[in-house]
């Protein structure tokens, strides 16, 4: 029973630990990608009245492996 529990915990750690952390030079946008989700922390220059797009978005599997340009549309 202990072995099975350890295996399940190991699989969950792999699924939810971000392995790809990138910072973009568009104003400071950062992305954190794991096998099961993508977290985008927006801080991007744009044409809005404020001048910045800010906020946080999370995308779950299967929509988490796209390029950042896909999410700006």
Tens of pLDDT along the chain (73 residues) come to 899 999 999 999 998 998 878 888 888 899 999 999 999 999 988 887 888 888 999 999 898 889 888 988 7
User: Using CA atoms, how far apart are residues 13 and 16, in angstroms rounded to an integer?
Assistant: 5
Closest CA to 69 of 19, 24, 18: 24
Can you tell me whether residue 39 is helix, strand or coil?
A: strand
Instruction: Write down the pLDDT at residue 28.
Output: 87
Q: How many domains does the chain have?
A: 1
Q: Are strands 37-45 and 30-33 parallel, antiparallel or unpaired?
A: antiparallel
Domain that includes residue 50, residue range: 2-71
CB 9 within 8 A of CB 17: no
């Amino acid at each position: 029973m202990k072995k099975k529990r350890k295996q399940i915990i190991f699989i969950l750690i792999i699924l939810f630990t971000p392995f790809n952390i990138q910072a973009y030079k568009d104003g400071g946008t950062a992305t954190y990608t794991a096998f099961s989700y993508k977290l985008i922390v927006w801080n991007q220059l744009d044409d809005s009245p404020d001048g910045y797009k800010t906020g946080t978005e999370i995308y779950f599997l299967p929509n988490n492996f796209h390029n950042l340009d896909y999410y700006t549309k």
